[in-house]
């Protein structure tokens, strides 16, 4: 009889302790979108500050004619191709050979042309910082162009993990030596 009572108590305990619907777990802390909104505002302020610095630099330089690209950077030609047969710019998959140097907005060398070996780059198929990727597409063979890139078009928040720090706008002088067109177009 005691065994029956014990079984009955265990059976009742099992039935009562089981819930038919699980209870949802609540997060320990709840966050609003404030961090993202603050980050957006910080980035907008940073871009505005850099663009103001770049516009002041351009205003002081009366010896060059700057072109504002639709991609968010500025450039001018140091030497422009006058060859009437040289009208092609690189397209997706073309391999370009070029040299470049990097300075900060004050003109201080970060990387000289000799420090960076001549690069071979397949357009949009390899890694290269965004501004230079877009800038190379504007150039023809045997041209030298100076680009001014805000930090978000250069190395951005992370820098290059060597000489270029966080959020540093740069001036890059690029000489495009050759364009080898992809044969499988």
In-domain check, residue 78: yes
In-domain check, residue 15: no
The whole-number pLDDT of residue 91 equals 93
In order of 74, 92, 170, 180, the CA distances from 96 in angstroms are 21, 11, 22, 6
Structure tokens at 40: 């957006």
| Angle at CA of residue 71, ends 66 and 74, nearest 5° | 20
Distance between CA atoms of 132 and 88, rounded to whole angstroms? Answer: 18
The whole-number pLDDT of residue 30 equals 64
Contact 113, 134 (CB under 8 A): no
Whole-prediction pTM value?
A: 0.79
Scanning 61-176, the segments in alpha helix (DSSP H) are: 130-136
In-domain check, residue 90: yes
- With tokens 């470049």, the residue in question is 100
Strands 95-104 and 170-180: antiparallel
pLDDT of 60-92, one tens digit each?
Answer: 999 999 999 999 999 999 999 887 676 789 999
- Alpha-carbon torsion (68, 144, 154, 91), positive or negative: positive
Q: What's the gap between Cα 121 and its chain centre?
A: 17
In-domain check, residue 2: no
- Find the CATH number of the domain harbouring 133: 3.10.50.40
In-domain check, residue 134: yes
In-domain check, residue 139: yes
Q: For residue 93, give every residue at least 6 positions away whose Cβ sits within 8 Å of its Cβ, in sequence order, or none.
A: 122, 123, 124, 125, 182, 184, 185
Coil, helix or strand at residue 169: coil
Count how many domains the chain has: 1
Residues spanned by the domain of 100: 65-180
Could you list the pLDDT tens digit for every one of the 185 residues in the chain?
787 877 778 777 776 666 666 777 777 776 667 888 888 899 999 999 999 999 999 999 999 999 999 999 999 999 998 876 767 899 999 999 999 999 999 999 999 988 999 999 999 999 999 999 999 999 999 999 999 999 999 999 898 989 999 999 999 999 999 999 877 65
In-domain check, residue 30: no
- With tokens 């907005």, the residue in question is 105
In-domain check, residue 45: no
């Amino acid at each position: 009889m005691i065994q029956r009572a014990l079984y009955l108590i265990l059976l009742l305990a099992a039935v009562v302790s089981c819930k038919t619907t699980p209870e949802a777990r609540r997060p320990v802390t709840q966050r609003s979108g404030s961090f993202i909104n603050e980050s957006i505002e910080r980035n907008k302020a940073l871009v505005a500050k850099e663009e103001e610095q770049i516009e002041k630099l351009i205003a002081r330089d009366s010896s060059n004619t700057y072109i504002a690209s639709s991609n968010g950077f500025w450039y001018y030609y140091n030497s422009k191709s006058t060859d009437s047969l040289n009208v092609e710019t690189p397209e997706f998959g073309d391999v370009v050979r070029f040299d470049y140097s990097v300075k900060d907005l004050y003109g201080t060398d970060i990387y000289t042309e000799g420090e960076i070996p001549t690069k071979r780059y397949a357009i949009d198929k390899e890694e290269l910082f965004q501004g230079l990727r877009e800038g190379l597409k504007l150039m023809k063979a045997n041209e030298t162009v100076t680009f001014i890139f805000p930090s978000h078009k250069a190395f951005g928040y992370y820098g290059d993990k060597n000489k270029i720090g966080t959020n540093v706008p740069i001036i890059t002088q690029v000489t495009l030596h050759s364009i080898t067109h992809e044969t499988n177009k």
